[in-house]
């Protein structure tokens, strides 16, 4: 019988932003598929909470690793610590991030620089360190968590949208350069999923209502739905996929005119 191509048994994944939201859901999904997972976060308490919960299901296949993706040295230490602990890295998920909503007239150069340092340069720092390990091993898969704001504007998040758009360009560049090292690089174009990052912006707000009106499936996503797509990109099931942005957004980024869905927003599907 052929092996399940979505199986991650024996794979080692490092997940930045792994102690909450999409990153934590991805850690859970990877563990459920048999992977060992290093959960990266700046916050020791969040690491402790996330790892102790996951260890109940996955035992010693879970490790917490402190990381600040804006710091070259801390990124290098985190990748080294993961290799020391598990012996290899096969998958990197760049899920660290944050957002700021303000009109562009109120944004500063610092707002842009900090946003880029986390989302773009941070993803690059982690990708470069992890890809060296992958290239010396059996190759691997890098998954950058991009956003619908990588492909359409979602108003008043200019630095976030610019950084997430650049993450798509980074995804293509690294995919192109690192295919020869057997490292695939893809992005998830995540739609609106209420998490610590954006719950205050979209749940019960006018902005959230407008998002739903422009989402053909007329609901927010769930973190586990983004995590399922990450399993695909991490696994053999996607062995010929690289440089791709996979939308997991209920149709949001494909939706031009949203009027036809508006009447049933808020109703049970
Ligand atoms: N939720 C959505 O609707 C949505 C949609 C599209 C894209 N995304 C993207 O998905 C990713 C995950 O977001 P989320 O929704 O899961 O939000 P979240 O729960 O707030 O997770 C983001 C994590 O990033 C970590 N982080 C932030 N800055 C960091 C840094 N400098 N170094 C290391 N870790 C850092 C934070 O962890 P610590 O504070 O523990 O370090 C936080 O737990 C982000 O890149 C976000 O832009 C989210």
The CATH code of the domain that includes 74 is 3.40.50.720
Question: Does any domain span residue 186?
Answer: yes
Give the C-alpha separation, 4 to 184, whole Å: 20
The larger pLDDT score, comparing residue 103 to residue 260, is at: 103
Q: Is the pLDDT of residue 72 over 80?
A: yes
Name the pTM for this structure: 0.96
Q: Which of 14, 30, 160, 220 is catalytic?
A: 160
Mutating to test ligand 1, I would choose from 15, 21, 119 the residue with most ligand atoms within 8 A of its C-beta, which is 21
Mutating to test ligand 1, I would choose from 14, 15, 17, 93 the residue with most ligand atoms within 8 A of its C-beta, which is 17
Number of domains in the chain: 1
Q: For the purposes of burial, counting CB atoms within 10 Å of the CB of 256, is it exposed (0-12), middle (13-18) or buried (19 or more)?
A: exposed
Q: Of all atoms in ligand 1, which is nearest to the CA of residue 146?
A: 7
* Residue 93 CA to ligand 1 centre (angstroms): 11
Question: Does any domain span residue 268?
Answer: no
Q: Give residue 257's pLDDT.
A: 77
**Mean of the per-residue pLDDT values for the chain?**
95
Between β-strands 245-248 and 183-190, what pairing exists: parallel, antiparallel or unpaired? Answer: parallel
Residue 140 is part of which domain span? 12-195+221-253
Query: What is the per-residue pLDDT across 190-239, written as a single tens digit (0 to 9) for each?
Result: 999 999 999 999 999 999 999 998 999 999 999 999 999 999 999 999 99
Question: Does any domain span residue 4?
Answer: no
Question: Does any domain span residue 62?
Answer: yes
Residue nearest to atom 16 of ligand 1 (CA): 21
In the residue annotation, 116 being an active-site residue is answered as no
Which of 151, 87, 79, 81 is closest to 122 using CA atoms?
79
């Amino acid at each position: 019988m052929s092996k399940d191509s979505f199986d991650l048994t024996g794979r080692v994944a490092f997940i930045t932003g792994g102690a909450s939201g999409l990153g934590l859901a991805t850690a859970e999904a990877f563990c459920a598929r048999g992977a060992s997972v290093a959960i990266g976060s700046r916050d020791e308490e969040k690491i402790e909470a996330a790892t102790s919960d996951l260890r109940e299901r996955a035992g010693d296949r879970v490790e917490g690793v402190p990381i600040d993706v804006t710091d070259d040295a801390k990124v290098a230490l985190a990748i080294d610590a993961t290799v020391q602990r598990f012996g290899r890295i096969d998958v990197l998920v760049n899920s660290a991030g944050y957002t700021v909503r303000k009109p562009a007239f109120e944004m500063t150069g610092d707002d842009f620089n900090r946003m880029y340092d986390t989302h773009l340069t941070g993803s690059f720092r982690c990708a470069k360190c992890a890809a060296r390990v992958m290239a010396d091993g059996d190759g691997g898969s890098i998954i950058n968590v991009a956003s619908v704001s990588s492909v359409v504007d979602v108003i008043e998040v200019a630095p976030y949208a610019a950084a997430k758009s650049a993450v798509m360009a980074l995804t293509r560049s690294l995919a192109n350069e690192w295919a020869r090292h057997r490292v695939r690089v893809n992005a998830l174009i995540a739609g609106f999923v209420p998490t610590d990052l954006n719950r205050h912006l979209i749940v019960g707000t006018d902005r959230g209502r407008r998002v739903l009106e422009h989402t053909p499936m007329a609901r927010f996503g769930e973190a586990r739905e983004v995590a399922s797509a990450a399993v695909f990109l991490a696994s053999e099931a996607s062995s010929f996929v690289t440089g791709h942005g996979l939308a997991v957004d209920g149709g949001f980024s494909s939706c031009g005119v949203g009027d036809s869905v508006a009447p049933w927003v808020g109703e049970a599907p």
